[in-house]
Amino acid sequence: MRAVLFLWVVLLAAPAAWAQDEVPEATRPERLYLNSGVLMGSSRVVAMGGAYVGIAEGVAGFTNNLAALAHRSPQLDRDWDVGVTLSWMDLPLAKAKGKDLDNDGFADDAPTTLQLLGAVLLQYRNFGMGFSLRSYQVGYCNTVHCDRSDLIRVSLIQTALAGALALGRDDFILGFGIYSAQAVLSHKPEGDWRYGNTGIALDMLYRPQGRPYRLGVSVRPEVVGQWRRDVGQVPFIAGRQLYSAVVSPAVLSLGVSWRLGEGAEHYNRLSPAARRQMLEGEHFAEVPPEDEGGLAGRWLLSAQADFISPAENAVSIHSFTALTDPVKVGASGMLQPRLGVEHETWPGRLRTRLGVFVEPSPFADHLPRPHLTGGFELFLFRYLEDWALTASFDASRRYSNFGISVGFWR
């Protein structure tokens, strides 16, 4: 009798054991591609089509070129300075669902999107340091009914802790720092799955005295972030098998900016603080004469080219959230041109901006997508510092983005 009972227990338990053995314990070998084509940055950067590497000024600009950390304001008359900016992009002025977020030619089932940027800058003499955080969150539908309480959220987080040093007559600035790319996949009932890694960033800016132009270079390394598996975590989220890592492609950006109009030669003027420090030092045989001030040209033009490296064995994030077969992306290098213009419409009170850029598609055989951008910066009031409100828009085929920023008027 005992033998018969034992046999029945074995037969009943076997199917469950076989089913358990069929559950994969490892992730898929592919890597999720963090698309750098969608512009992320402050409202001023967005409004100028992202063409900011060749400008590199202000706390809002150091996420694009670390040299901005040591780029002193032309009005600075003290040894130190501080800057802060907060930006809220993807304002809920239009429906998020139906946007083509990854430029594959199809609308994404993503009813919520959010972009946030925060940065702080500290300067002392010719040295500057700062910290920035950029967060881009997308909520994808988990089911065909698209219950907002049951979304799969994908958060892409980029941080930078950096410093910069101005050399010579502040005409050459070198920026360096630690650049981090992270991704967090979350499903409310189950928790968070985290990926991430860091790399070294190196940027520079050349701003010759008495000339109306600047040249900038920015280098962002490829970052491959492995899944940081917590104790007891399984490689599944909402029934979907996780991928082994995320990959952010390397980007080399070359930029140039040019001032036009009366006084354009004062574009790279020395600040009073920098000139005073040169007079106090013993390293300069000749110190430029004191600048009389005034407007350094009403027009500012900026052009930039981003060279995006290929990524091996990468698939789109949409493949993961949509339960479709993985689609390989980023197999070849891409070029992303940008162009922006800024006008001192009401000197000291209002600046207006317009820009364009072409977003290449990481998907094979898909055409690039042109974007039109624009916005303004409005002086608000003076309280300890001069405060300003900046607004921007970015419009393209199946895509739109509206944002605002609060920071200092410079």
What residues form DSSP beta bridges with 19? none
Tokens read off for 339: 């162009």
d(CA 389, CA 70): 23
Residue 199 contacts residue 170 (beta carbons within 8 Å): no
d(CA 311, CA 333): 8
Q: Which residues contact 121 (CB under 8 A, 6 or more apart)?
A: 59, 62, 68, 69, 81, 82, 83, 84, 128, 129, 130
Q: Which residues contact 31 (CB under 8 A, 6 or more apart)?
A: 224, 243, 244, 245, 246, 247, 311, 312, 313, 314, 315
What residues form DSSP beta bridges with 374? 354, 393
d(CA 105, CA 396): 12
- Phi/psi class of residue 126: alpha, beta or left (left: φ > 0; alpha: ψ in -120 to 50)? alpha
d(CA 68, CA 129): 9
- Backbone Cα Rg of the chain: 25
What 3-state DSSP class applies to 130? strand
Q: What is the model's pLDDT at position 49?
A: 93
d(CA 274, CA 68): 15
Q: What is the model's pLDDT at position 285?
A: 54
Separation in Å, CA 253 to CA 203, 215, 309, 398: 9, 11, 11, 26
Give backbone dihedrals phi and psi of 279, rounded to 5 degrees, phi first.
-65, -35
Quote the strand ranges of 207-333, DSSP E. Answer: 213-220, 223-228, 236-237, 240-241, 243-248, 251-260, 299-308, 314-315, 328-329
* Selection from 71, 113, 55, 109 nearest residue 89 by Cα: 113
Give backbone dihedrals phi and psi of 56, rounded to 5 degrees, phi first.
50, 60
Q: What is the model's pLDDT at position 251?
A: 93
Tokens read off for 343: 């006008």
pLDDT tens digits, 201-221: 999 999 998 899 999 999 988
Q: What is the model's pLDDT at position 283?
A: 60
Separation in Å, CA 130 to CA 80, 87, 221: 13, 16, 19
Site of tokens 């490829």 = 222
| pTM, entire model | 0.87
Separation in Å, CA 133 to CA 40, 158, 386: 11, 6, 23
CA angle 12–15–20, rounded 5-degree value: 130
Q: What is the model's pLDDT at position 173?
A: 96
* Selection from 354, 221, 209 nearest residue 286 by Cα: 209
For residue 196, give the H/E element and its range. Answer: strand 191-206
Q: What is the model's pLDDT at position 174?
A: 96
Task: Please list the pLDDT of the chain residue by residue as tens digits (410 residues).
Answer: 444 444 444 444 444 343 344 445 688 888 988 876 666 678 899 999 999 999 999 888 888 999 999 999 888 888 899 988 899 988 877 676 778 788 887 777 788 888 889 999 999 989 999 999 988 888 888 777 777 778 888 888 889 999 999 998 889 999 999 988 888 888 887 888 899 898 899 999 999 988 999 999 999 888 898 888 888 888 888 888 888 898 989 999 999 999 999 888 889 988 888 888 877 765 665 666 666 666 778 999 999 999 999 999 998 877 777 767 788 888 899 999 999 999 999 988 999 999 999 999 898 888 899 999 999 999 998 888 889 999 999 999 888 889 999 988 87
pLDDT tens digits, 354-374: 999 999 989 888 889 999 999
* Selection from 198, 199, 204 nearest residue 218 by Cα: 204
Tokens read off for 198: 């860091």
